[in-house]
Amino acid sequence: MQDYVFKYGKEKLKFSLDPSLVAGELKIKDCPVLSDPEAAIRQALAHPIGSKPLREIVKPGETVVFIVNDPTRVANSHVFMPILLDEMNAAGIPDKDMAIIFALGTHRLMTDEEMVQEVGEAVAKRVKMHNSDAKDSSQFTYFGETSRGTPVWFNNLVVQADHIICTGSIVHHFFAGFGGGRKAMLPGVSAYETIRKNHSMIFDPNALIGKLEGNPIYHDQVEGVEMHRPSFLLNVVLNEKKEFLAVFAGDYIQAHLEGCKLVDEVYGAELEEPADLVIATCGGFPKDINVYQMQKTMDNAWVAVRDGGVVILLGECIEGTGSATYEDWMREYQTPDRIAEMVKANFQIGAHKAYAVTRLMKKAEFILVSAMEPEFAKMLLFTPAKDMEEALAMAFAKLGPKPRIVLMPQGSLTVPRIRVK
């Protein structure tokens, strides 16, 4: 037997397995960290992908708005924003002609302190900063409807500026393929109804993690953004420690696609075939703070497990589900099919999470080691286990003595791909 140690909340859990049963351990690939991120940012701005350099795009007398991530999506904005402001100054744009708007989508509004923390004190003193409140219709201008029926409303601040510069980080996204790129605008600075309609395409079988081509959510977002095209993009790729791996700048579509290739290289993990049993941890706190965050790991484990298999999930969920709407829908509708039916009939942000989680449970059993009460975990359709010993006993009882096991010690980050034979 061999011992394995996985992160759980702020602790670590140890368990033992026969190593001959372990077919693979999925980890993110080592990628050199940028030794001088500031220099790399300047280099990317001077040699953009599919675009003229930023200094050649803007002109004195014009106004510029930067779209910046909120705290839920780490981008190290405090590193690149001072450089972007200086770049604008060099092009003849004074600080008073620039502003920052935070790409909140449907997230809660940021406090003044959070805004300062996100971009750094120096930047906060130089330019005005704004929230985009998706539910305040007075903040938005209508541009028309996409071919898929999404009404496109963008925040007035980006509508009134001469130039929009999108910033952010590129990561895998469980139904939009990848974050970053066009997502700064849609959903970032879009109205609630725009976001609701776009996200309602989650039921399409092509709305998948790591998939852009053929993904209706991605194509709908791009179609909407093309109605009021940003002038430039700066996206970064970070590692697990939030260190810079690469910087991509230029055309908001082309530069983003190049960044997605690197994200797939670093965070993608190939498997010969799906496993009977996947043992996955979110990676500890705060990745397993609640079910809402844990879902990223569930999605990745779902790809790695076979139909009728088992996933053992280590997620403390010290704050429970993280969404009252999600909880309400689970209590009310109780089965994956009923939840899917009701979410389709009345799509709501929050309720879509109930669908996103329970659809995974149709493929495999999810045994959960968490801090949640067992009855509460059962209500959420997990099979609760008090510890790893009990979880493994349950899994082996179902699968037999020699299941093919895949381990995911960085479950929220590694995105499995089954190798096509």
Q: What is the CATH number for 219?
A: 3.40.50.11440
Which residue type does 412 have?
A: S
294 within domain boundaries = yes
CATH number at residue 286: 3.90.226.30
Within a domain: 32? no
**In-domain check, residue 112:** yes
pLDDT at 351 over 90: no
**CA-to-CA distance for 357 and 202, rounded, in angstroms?**
12
Q: Which among 208, 243, 266 is the end of a domain? A: 266
Q: Both tokens of residue 346? A: 């009345």
Q: What is the pLDDT of residues 145-157, one digit of tens each?
A: 999 999 999 999 9
Residue 349: pLDDT band with limits 50, 70, 90: confident
Please name the residues in contact with 35: beta carbons below 8 A apart, sequence gap of 6 or more. Answer: none
Give yes or no for a contact between 174 and 295, defined as CB atoms under 8 angstroms apart. yes
Q: Are residues 292 and 245 in the same domain?
A: no
Whether 23 and 41 map to the same domain: the answer is no
Residues with Cβ < 8 Å from 29, sequence gap 6 or more?
265, 266, 267
> Do 220 and 285 belong together in one domain?
no
The SS3 of residue 236 is: strand
- Domain span at 148: 37-266
Model pLDDT, residue 421: 62
Name residue 275's beta-bridge partners. 305
Both structure tokens of 273: 């075939």
d(CA 274, CA 302) in angstroms, rounded, equals: 9
Residues 73 and 170 in one domain: yes
Can you give the pLDDT at residue 254? Answer: 98
Question: Which is nearest to 52 in space by CA: 23, 91, 86, 21?
Answer: 91
pLDDT of 322 higher than 90: no
Q: Is the pLDDT of residue 344 over 70?
A: yes
Residues 208 and 74 in one domain: yes
Residue 350 has pLDDT above 80, yes or no: no
Structural domain ending residue among the three candidates 266, 286, 309: 266
Report the SS3 class of residue 323.
Answer: coil
152 and 210 belong to one structural domain: yes
Q: Is the pLDDT of residue 292 over 90?
A: no
Angle (CA) 119-247-268 rounded to 5° is 110
Instruction: Judge whether 117 lies within some domain.
Output: yes
Helix, strand and coil percent figures for the chain, each rounded to 5: 40, 25, 35
Question: With the CA atoms of 72, 171, 280 and 343 taken in that order, what torsion angle do they form, in degrees rounded to the nearest 10?
Answer: 70
pLDDT at 52: 97
Q: Distance (Å, rounded) from C-alpha 195 to C-alpha 188?
A: 9
- Mean local confidence (pLDDT), 256-280: 96
- Averaged pLDDT of the chain: 95
Query: Mean per-residue pLDDT for 330-348?
Result: 89
Q: Which residue has the tokens 């797939």?
A: 264
In a domain, 46, yes or no: yes
According to the model, what pLDDT value does residue 54 have?
95
Residues 17, 229 contacting (CB under 8 angstroms): no
pLDDT at 76 over 70: yes
Same domain, 222 and 315: no
164 found inside a domain: yes
Question: At what angle are helices 351-358 and 324-333 packed, to 10 degrees?
Answer: 60
Find tokens 């079988």 and name the residue. 205
With contact defined as beta carbons under 8 Å apart, do 35 and 245 qualify? no
User: What is the per-residue burial (b if ≥16 Cβ within 10 Å, else e) of 399-410?
Assistant: beeebbbbbbbb
Looking at the domain assignment, is residue 147 inside a domain? yes
Is 368 part of any domain? yes
Say how many domains are in the chain: 2
Do the beta carbons of residue 298 and residue 311 sit within 8 Å? yes
Looking at the structure, do residues 228 and 109 belong to the same domain, yes or no? yes
Q: Which residue has the tokens 């993280």?
A: 322
pTM value? 0.89
pLDDT for res 378: 97
Residues 181 and 318 in one domain: no
Asked if residue 332 and residue 222 are part of one domain, the reply reads no
Give residue 353's pLDDT.
85
**Helical segments of 8-155, H only:** 37-46, 54-57, 77-90, 112-119, 121-126
Using CB atoms within 10 Å of the CB of residue 226, give its burial: 0 to 12 exposed, 13 to 18 middle, 19+ buried: middle
Which runs of consecutive H residues, i.e. helices, occur in 2-100?
A: 37-46, 54-57, 77-90
Position 285 pLDDT exceeds 70: yes
Angle at 268 between CA 195 and CA 184, to 5 degrees: 25
Final residue before a domain boundary, out of 246, 266, 286: 266
Contact 104, 71 (CB under 8 A): no
> Are 262 and 280 members of one domain?
no
d(CA 50, CA 17): 50
- 256 and 283: one domain? no
On the question of pLDDT at 118 being above 70, the answer is yes
Neighbour tally for 361: CB within 10 Å? 18
